[in-house]
Amino acid sequence: MIDVRKSPELQAAILGMRRLRTDLRPELYKAQRQELGDAWLPALQRRTGTNLERRIIMAGARTKVSTDTFSVLAATSRRELSNGLVPSIHWPGAEFGARNRRATYDRTSVRGRVHKVTRTLNRQFRGRMADGQIAFDAASEIGTQLVRLWVVTAVDFIRDAAGAEG
């Protein structure tokens, strides 16, 4: 985590964004979302190993920007995938992995007979890891680059806006 209180450069950038005319802020936020997204989405894409991970993590992957902060998000989609997984609910399996386990449950056949079946669950995920494998890893690797892009985009936008006003 970067502490803004210890960085006069970041404080100056935030002050500049707060002093920007309110009618120009949506354009600034759009430019910042575009720049941050151009760095965030490929970083996520590089780390997804399977098609299932890609479908879960990349669904709803985006950036949020405001005057004094930004966020990078992954797996925020609430739309159910074709296999029944909902990315915003089931993302921990793709991010942290899961332990395989055997489960026995009752199943009803097509003819209406109930019988027990044993299945191995969580085979589709990697093995369990304490630290994140995809989004957490990407955020830790490119975090400082994202801060740089957020500030540089704001400074360039403010400079261009000031030049346009004369």
pTM of the model: 0.81
What are the residue boundaries of the structural domains of the chain, listed by start? 25-161
Q: How many CB atoms lie within 10 A of CB 151?
A: 19
For 146, how many CA atoms within 13 A lie in the half-sphere containing its CB?
A: 27
**pLDDT tens string 31-86:** 999 999 999 999 999 999 899 999 999 999 999 998 888 999 999 999 999 988 89
Q: How far is CA 126 from CA 75, 85, 87, 89, 98, in A?
A: 17, 16, 16, 17, 6
Q: Cα separation of 41 and 61, whole Å?
A: 7
| Average pLDDT of the residues in 79-95 | 91
Is the Cβ–Cβ distance between 146 and 40 less than 8 Å? yes
Q: What is the 3-state secondary structure (H, E, C) of the chain?
A: CCCHHHCHHHHHHHHHHHHCCCCCHHHHHHHHHHHHHHHHHHHHHHHCCCHHHHHHHCCCCEEEECCCCEEEECCCCCCCCCCCCCHHHHHHHHHHCCCCEEEEEEEECCCCCEEEEEEEECCCCCCCCCCCCCHHHHHHHHHHHHHHHHHHHHHHHHHHHHHHHC
Is the Cβ–Cβ distance between 97 and 127 less than 8 Å? yes
In the prediction, which pLDDT does 68 show? 82
Q: Is the pLDDT of residue 142 over 90?
A: yes
Which percentage of the chain shows pLDDT scores above 90?
Answer: 64
| Average pLDDT of the residues in 120-146 | 90
Lowest-confidence pick of 23-32, 42-51, 94-103, 122-131: 122-131
**pLDDT tens string 20-30:** 888 999 999 99
In the prediction, which pLDDT does 165 show? 67
**Strands 62-65, 114-121: parallel, antiparallel or unpaired by DSSP?**
unpaired
In the prediction, which pLDDT does 126 show? 87
- pLDDT tier at 13, thresholds 50, 70, 90: confident
| Average pLDDT of the residues in 137-145 | 93
In the prediction, which pLDDT does 4 show? 77
Q: Is the pLDDT of residue 105 over 90?
A: yes
